[in-house]
Amino acid sequence: MREVVEGVFEVSLGFVNMHLVVTDDGVVLVDTGLPRNAKRIDRALHGLRKQIGDVTAVLLTHQHFDHIGNVADVRRRSGARVFAHAADAPAITGAIRPPEPRGLARFAVRLIGTAEPTKLDQLITKDESEPLPGFTAIHTPGHTRGHVSYLLDRAGGLLFAGDTAAGTREGGVTAGPTRVSADPDEQARSLAKLGSYDFEHAVFGHGQAVSGRAVERFREYAGRAGGSAG
């Protein structure tokens, strides 16, 4: 676990990251990682001198199993409110079967298991909204139809990009995993859209966090991708 900015912590759960945000009202989780990792979430909370009952909200970026893997358990044990976009809600609640995973994701599901369905407490339906004080939810479709990124008003702005983008080892930004994306072209447009906001830091479902005018890395990538498309 590492602190990205004051009160925001990144926890690596296998090949995916989840994030804990300490607020005045409790702890907010952004995604919950791979299934069967509840004990690792508890350990991360313990490291912050917190416990599962201190989790007041879970903000889900999208429906994929490596991001919602422990949300049912967290909701059940903490009583936290769970937020997700309406377009991804049926797959999270179990109303419909999630899309069949492809490629490496199919192997991972067989090895790790699937996410337990859970109820949602609030649906995100607008292009931009404020699900919690200090957080802006930005609809960024493409990776999934209901993918949401979250912008936190802290430390000059911190973006939780989910899988719309990914951080590189060189401190840059690239597209998130497109092999499992519903619409890679729409995902590219969503990545460019994030560059229209203002933030100093960015964290991702996959890859390394970027700090120091992180938004410029998004704009640079969008410019390169746009030029290649042209």
Instruction: Give the pLDDT score at 230.
Output: 41
State the average pLDDT over residues 9-28: 95
Q: How far apart are CA 135 and CA 139, in angstroms?
A: 13
**% residues pLDDT > 70 (the chain):** 92
Q: How far is CA 12 from CA 88, 114, 132, 159, 208, in A?
A: 24, 18, 24, 17, 10
State the average pLDDT over residues 29-56: 97
**Domain formed by 2-229, architecture:** 4-Layer Sandwich (3.60)
Q: What is the mean pLDDT of the chain?
A: 93
**% residues pLDDT > 90 (the chain):** 86
Instruction: Give the pLDDT score at 151.
Output: 98
Of the candidate ranges 8-12, 89-93, 223-227, the one whose mean pLDDT is the lowest: 223-227
Instruction: Give the pLDDT score at 217.
Output: 97
Give me the residue spans of the domains in the chain: 2-229
Q: State pTM to two decimals.
A: 0.93
Instruction: Give the pLDDT score at 42.
Output: 98
pLDDT tens across 95-135, in order?
Answer: 987 666 666 666 666 666 788 999 999 999 999 999 999 99
pLDDT tens across 134-169, in order?
Answer: 999 999 999 999 999 999 999 999 999 999 999 999
Instruction: Give the pLDDT score at 103.
Output: 61
State the average pLDDT over residues 190-198: 98
